[in-house]
Chain A
Amino acid sequence: MIDQDNPLKDALRDPGAVVAGWLDELGVADPAQRRALQTEAGELVRSLAEGLDRGGDASRLAGPAWDGLRETLESLSRSRAAKGETAGDTSQFVLALKRPLFDALQRSRGDHPERLMAGIWAASQLVDRLAQHTATTFQKSREDIIRRQQDDLLELSTPVVKLWEGVLAVPMIGVLDSNRTQIVMETLLQSIVDSGSGLAIIDITGVPTVDTLVAQHLLKTVTAIRLMGADCIISGIRPQIAQTIVHLGIDLQGITTKATLADALSVALQKTGWRISREK
């Protein structure tokens, strides 16, 4: 029985054949690889058929009817992104679905060239859309993975230095966004607990600009340090930054600030009860 109105349902009457044809088109010889791809292909064809049954409009991949298909595509994309495959390979996988769909249509509509053309056009458009959706998700997955890797790197590379007994220092370098501040804050606070240090020096020499947002991030860090019962000094305040702070009306809430790390260390030693003397 030919579904005159829906060429795609027509093409998917025999899902097993579509999957087999798909795998052939991909030219995968290795049986283990073939098995793995068979699972992925099978799921996709299933979701496609379900979406069509639910009345999904093949001209757009939006709407609740296509929820299952979108999820299948996204999960396919994510797993390939995680495996380090390229976007090209992933698209190629999806695009290979055209051949078996065309073949199925050929078998059922071969005698009616106009309907065959319409069917091939619809199938081609749909598969293009699937490939596009996969590519978009792939891109997003790769970006997420990279961002997470950067965060891990940031955590590992946040240098908290023990300057003296009970005095820690952390140089903040680069633009202070909320993500970076969060990571530095967590690392610094944990170091304070682990080392039992009562004083932390945050050096902002390497921070290019201090605006209201950056000041907010710094203040959050200082507040957290004080909440835990430790104290804090901010060093590396260049004259221009001091001006900006006053201009913006930022309230430093009584935090001790120093122009250089050396000055900050001097204050820190005083506060922690150390006296340094030099022998002539």
Chain B
Amino acid sequence: MDRIPILRMGETLLVTIQVDMQDQTALALQDDLAEKIAKTGASGVMIDISALEIVDSFVGRMLSSISGIAGILSATTVVVGMQPAVAITLVELGLSLEGVKTALDVERGMAMLAAVRAEHRHGG
């Protein structure tokens, strides 16, 4: 089973999902991220799904879970690069991904994480 690699850039952990994941791969990613956030004290998690052509309810729940778990570990999660067809399908499926922050691309995602960090630093 392939494990999705997690890269570290300063206070942010970066994940790029490029493969059609098996369910267990998604669960493993969840575990790995939780562990790495705790270990590194990262304040931000960016998940790049620009290469993901299918986001079903399982992956949707995974993204919500990661967001929740990261939040408990004091990190902000942002999902970037959702494809239009995926967004349309998710809406039809009835999945609103509540609680998951999204941004159009990596650049905006990083800006969002930086803004949140700044807010926290100034007692926001």
Which one of A60-68, A152-160, A223-231 is at the interface?
A: A223-231
The answer, yes or no, to whether B103 is at the interface (CB within 8 Å) is yes
Please determine whether A227 and B105 come into contact, CB atoms closer than 8 angstroms.
no
Q: Which residues of B contact A182 (CB under 8 A)?
A: 88
Please determine whether A228 and B91 come into contact, CB atoms closer than 8 angstroms.
no
With known contacts A227-B91, A227-B96, A193–B84 Cβ distance under 8 A: yes
Give the residue name and chain of the B residue nearest to A225 (CB): B87
With known contacts A220-B91, A224-B91, A229–B84 Cβ distance under 8 A: no
Please determine whether A228 and B104 come into contact, CB atoms closer than 8 angstroms.
yes
The answer, yes or no, to whether A151 is at the interface (CB within 8 Å) is no
Report the minimal beta-carbon distance from A261 to chain B, rounded to whole angstroms: 23
With known contacts A227-B96, A227-B97, A198–B104 Cβ distance under 8 A: yes
The answer, yes or no, to whether A190 is at the interface (CB within 8 Å) is yes
Among A185, A189, A196, A228, find the residue whose CB has the most chain B CB atoms closer than 10 A: A228
Q: Which residues of B contact A223 (CB under 8 A)?
A: 91, 96
The answer, yes or no, to whether B82 is at the interface (CB within 8 Å) is yes
Interface size class of A (residues with CB under 8 A): 10 to 19
Give the residue name and chain of the A residue nearest to B50 (CB): A193
A230 to B112, CA, bound (A): 12
Please determine whether A185 and B88 come into contact, CB atoms closer than 8 angstroms.
yes
The answer, yes or no, to whether B8 is at the interface (CB within 8 Å) is no
Report the minimal beta-carbon distance from A35 to chain B, rounded to whole angstroms: 45
Interface string of A223-248 (1 = CB under 8 A from B): 11111111000000000000000000
Query: In the complex, how many residues of chain B place their beta carbon closer than 8 angstroms to a beta carbon of chain A?
Result: 20
Q: Which residues of A contact B82 (CB under 8 A)?
A: 227-229
Please determine whether A227 and B108 come into contact, CB atoms closer than 8 angstroms.
no
Interface string of A256-273 (1 = CB under 8 A from B): 000000000000000000
Of A196, A220, A228, the residue contacting B84 (CB under 8 A) is A228
A203 to B88, CA, bound (A): 20
The answer, yes or no, to whether B90 is at the interface (CB within 8 Å) is yes
The answer, yes or no, to whether A192 is at the interface (CB within 8 Å) is yes
Q: Which residues of A contact B85 (CB under 8 A)?
A: 186
Please determine whether B104 and A224 come into contact, CB atoms closer than 8 angstroms.
no
The answer, yes or no, to whether B102 is at the interface (CB within 8 Å) is yes
Please determine whether A227 and B87 come into contact, CB atoms closer than 8 angstroms.
yes
With known contacts A223-B96, A227-B96, A229-B82, A193–B88 Cβ distance under 8 A: no
8 closest Cβ pairs, A-B complex = A189-B84, A229-B102, A229-B103, A224-B87, A227-B87, A229-B104, A228-B82, A224-B91
